[in-house]
Amino acid sequence: MTAIRRLRHLQRYREIALAFARNGFGYFVRELGLTRLIPHWRSVESQHHQPTRTTGERLRSFLQELGPTFVKMGQIASTRHDMFPPDIIEELQRLQDKVPPFPFEEVRRVVEEELGSPLESVYRSFEPEPVAAASIGQVHRARLRSGEEVAVKVQRPGILKTVETDLDILRHLARMAEHRLQWARQYGASELVEELAASLGAELDYTHEGRSSERIAAHFEGRKDIRIPRIWWDLSSRRVLTMEFIPGIQLHDAAALEQAGFDRTEIAEAVCRVILEQVFLSGHFHADPHPGNVLILPAAEGKRTGPRSASAAEGGADDSDPRPRPVIGLLDFGMTGRLTPGMKEHFASLIIALRRQSTDGVIQAIEAMGLIPESADWQELRRDVDRLREKYYLISFADISLGEAVTDLFQVSYRHRIRMPADFMLLGKTLLTLEGVISSLDPDFSVVTVAEPFGKKLLLDRLKPARLAEAAAGYAAEYVDLLGELPSRLRSLGRFVARGKLPLELSVKDVDRMMKKLDRISGRLSFSIVLLSFSIIMAGLVVGSSIGRQPGLLSRFPVLEIGFTIAAVMFLYMLVSIFRSGRK
């Protein structure tokens, strides 16, 4: 590390320590041994003792004070309901990513450095005033030499170095915290920082945003009810993104929507379907559908070709409705999520288990999606899931609040330290945001009613012969690999046994279950020995009768027939007991 970089790091450490102190987290500075960085530490700490503000409020103030990296990481952390309590999440969601725009001279310099040409040779016109500005970058309207109107996203100068410095410091602080603080080890502070750093790194690379945009657009190819900006890759890089400019009405502009004649219920249904189709069908979804990222445009054809909505179709609406059909425009793909086929199936299983009021089904789905720690109290977990199940008992499916159900599930996962995949937590955030947007358009609209057909389709797809055959082939391959490894594993086990070093670890809660298993195994072993002895005796009788010359007393009775019958019954009983134990 160069002297200049060490000095920059030292100065930033001091800023972070002071921000901790100013927001009532002085104890954290003491625990990490950072007090030496601040002269007259005791007086600084006493000046900023603030017992009146909540922990969440102080944390939000701390992050905002330290700038773009910490604000962005706080916004990303606001999706981790499985790791932070609800009051902290609520404050993190209030973090504002609005900063003053940087000068047009800096915009010009970044664009010309990235594209390797003067600004005027690339764009016919380029508006100096940005249409939007944030901590990572800002957006300008421009027109290409060929005439197309575009939006140009330009990254803030120096932001990459700032973020890299902050991430280096955060990694170091996380390691120190894990070494000194038990709660930091429990939460996996270093792992959390790396997860947040990966998300932030993706936002700093505009090519990642462009690829995500095209991936989602490919799913809607040929559709006229959705618009996603086209990307000009020859005019884009990691720090500059040139994309189609889409004019439209922002979703939160209720007055403009009404003036344009749009049906708010129809818009609610259209937005809901677009997002849920991404989640359930393509698996790659826009994870930040807040009103500023959703535009409403009139259909290009200007007249209807069908009923205005599903509800209108049921009511027999005709094609003469004069109101414009809405087209949904999606912007800003800096935050997207991806669900693997397995995660989609687990999510569908969770929904079905909740509908069937199955506690075991809910726990199995949670266990399949997340990582339940060894220290989890399974009895308490079952009680919490039972309470969750009873809360939605006898409630009409259309009356369930999807956002509230997801929040309840996240609270259970937080209470039991169940770590969920980051993309699943993004899905939760997306559904919460979606329900908030929909309720602002039409408070009586049910997101769950629109989601149900997608979930049913997903479950039906699991039962298709091709999917079943594919799953069976996968299991078969796993079993073949397992059988191939079996001899070497048995040899290793034999060496441990021969040395008297067979490791055995039992927890107290497993003892009763293990003893019952051992009882069944010993009983079955004894039964097998009796069956073997009986079989040997019968074999002796068969041999004796075949070589004996004089009839004996036993020859007067059907001993062989009776013996074989008894042996067959014993054998069948043993098979049935084995199959039954396999299901327990």
307 CB contacts (<8 Å, ≥6 apart)?
313, 317, 318, 319, 321
Beta bridge partners of 406: none
**What tokens were used for 338?**
């991806």
Residue 346, CA distances (Å) to 17, 59, 180, 387, 520 in order: 43, 34, 37, 21, 34
CA distance 193 to 166: 11
CA distance 62 to 293: 27
**b (16+ CB within 10 A) / e for 427-447:** bbbbbbbbbebbeebbeebbb
For residue 34, with 0-12 CB atoms within 10 Å meaning exposed, 13-18 middle and 19 or more buried, which class applies?
Answer: buried
**b (16+ CB within 10 A) / e for 267-280:** bbbbbbbbbbbbbb
Asked whether 546 and 582 are in contact (CB, 8 A), the reply is no
**b (16+ CB within 10 A) / e for 140-171:** bebebeeeeebbbbbbbbebbebbebbbebbe
Neighbours of 30 (CB within 10 A): 14
Asked whether 166 and 244 are in contact (CB, 8 A), the reply is no
CA distance 309 to 316: 10
Sequence letter at residue 425 = M
Q: Integer distance in angstroms from the first to the last C-alpha of the chain? A: 59
**What tokens were used for 282?**
């393509």
Beta strands in 102-208 (DSSP E): 123-126, 132-133, 137-144, 149-155
**What tokens were used for 392?**
């939605």
* DSSP 8-state assignment for residue 375: T
Asked whether 413 and 406 are in contact (CB, 8 A), the reply is no
Asked whether 156 and 136 are in contact (CB, 8 A), the reply is yes
Nearest to 184, CA basis, from 32, 391, 17: 32
Nearest to 82, CA basis, from 188, 201, 197: 188
The single residue of 82, 166, 288, 332 carrying the catalytic annotation is: 288
**What tokens were used for 213?**
């945009």
Tokens 């490791």 appear where? 503
Asked whether 63 and 76 are in contact (CB, 8 A), the reply is no
288 is catalytic: yes
Neighbours of 122 (CB within 10 A): 21
Sequence letter at residue 242 = T
CA distance 446 to 384: 26
Sequence letter at residue 286 = H
Question: CA gyration radius for the chain?
Answer: 33
What amino acid positions are annotated as catalytic residues? 288
